[in-house]
């Protein structure tokens, strides 16, 4: 399975991928060698770097390591392909515009039949690639459009409820861990994933909330003094990462867990 990582920070933080750690998870000694990507929000827009090749062979990873980017919201993904050829159009995170904001999505799992679900809207969002993850993102945005088309930003509670409904639906198809952001909040859904013993079970993600300093081996380096909350597919350090129960949905805002609920 793929691996996810996301960061929410109170103020813009310098985040750079530890080259050694990222290589380990992205094709060095690990199996996630089918592509990688990272999204850095910058006010109303987002910088996304992604490649359909192993991170261990990437000059871009070295560049991000040596020249960290300032951001309050970061979403990243390393791929172990289960559906769809190795191509840029199948490499996550994915992005789309809705309501004048850039929305970003990354998924870990397998959702057979996602394309057969009834579309909640007019299918204004179409996948470019061939992954179930991108189809799921399009379905989510079709549902979210009913909130964003009203002309003003919907409340966090309304967005959280709708994402929860979506998460409960796709979790019925298979493992559905995802991180999604609209530039203000990160919505993280923890479900089930393939564990070290090859069994598929919870936890699908882990949480490190309110980190006041960078975990020494967390796969990222965060400037001292920044308060952040991190979610990841697996613990990335010896810090007290909390395993998330199956169906846990979080809304991360300004470096804190703003909302938490269970979708099962």
Q: Average pLDDT in the 219-244 region? A: 79
The residue-averaged pLDDT of 71-99 equals 84
E strands, the chain, where? Answer: 3-17, 36-42, 45-51, 69-78, 94-98, 101-109, 176-181, 186-190, 193-194, 200-201, 206-211, 220-222, 228-232, 242-243, 248-253, 256-262
User: Does 253 score more than 70 pLDDT?
Assistant: yes
- Note the pLDDT tens digit of each residue in 6-40: 999 988 887 665 434 544 554 444 554 678 899 99
Point out the catalytic residue in the list 2, 56, 126, 138: 2
pLDDT at residue 53 in the model: 79
Quick one: average pLDDT of 148-173? 93
Known catalytic membership, residue 126: no
Q: What is the CATH number of the domain that holds 78?
A: 3.60.20.10
Q: How far apart are CA 59 and CA 172, in angstroms?
A: 39
Domain count, the chain: 1
45 φ, ψ (degrees, to nearest 5): -125, -175
pLDDT for 212: 55
Q: What is the pLDDT of residue 254?
A: 93
Per-residue pLDDT at 220: 57
Q: 0.75 exceeded by the pTM?
A: yes
Residue 207 belongs to domain spanning: 3-262
Q: What is the pLDDT of residue 122?
A: 65
């Amino acid at each position: 399975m793929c691996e996810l990582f996301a960061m929410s920070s109170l103020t813009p933080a310098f985040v750079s991928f530890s080259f050694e750690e990222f290589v380990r998870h992205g094709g060095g000694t690990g199996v996630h060698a089918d592509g990688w990507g990272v999204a850095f929000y910058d006010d109303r827009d987002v910088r996304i770097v992604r490649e359909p090749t192993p991170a261990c062979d990437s000059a871009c990873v070295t560049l991000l390591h040596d020249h960290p980017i300032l951001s309050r919201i970061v979403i990243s993904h390393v791929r172990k392909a289960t559906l769809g050829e190795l191509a840029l159009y199948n490499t996550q995170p994915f992005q789309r515009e809705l309501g004048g904001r850039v929305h970003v999505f990354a998924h870990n799992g397998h959702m057979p039949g996602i394309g057969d679900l009834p579309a909640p809207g007019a299918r204004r969002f179409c996948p470019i690639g061939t992954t179930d993850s991108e189809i799921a993102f399009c379905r989510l945005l079709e549902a979210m459009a009913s909130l964003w088309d009203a002309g003003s930003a919907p409340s966090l509670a309304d967005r959280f409820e709708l994402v929860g409904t979506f998460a409960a639906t796709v979790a019925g198809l298979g493992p559905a861990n995802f991180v999604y952001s609209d530039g203000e909040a990160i919505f993280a859904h923890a479900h089930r994933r393939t564990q070290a013993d090859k069994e598929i079970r919870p936890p699908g993600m882990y949480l490190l909330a309110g980190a006041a300093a960078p975990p020494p081996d967390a796969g990222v380096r965060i400037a001292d003094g920044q308060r952040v909350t991190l979610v990841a597919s697996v613990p990335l350090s010896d810090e007290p990462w909390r395993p998330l129960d199956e169906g846990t949905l979080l809304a991360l805002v300004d470096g804190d867990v703003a909302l938490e609920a269970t979708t099962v």
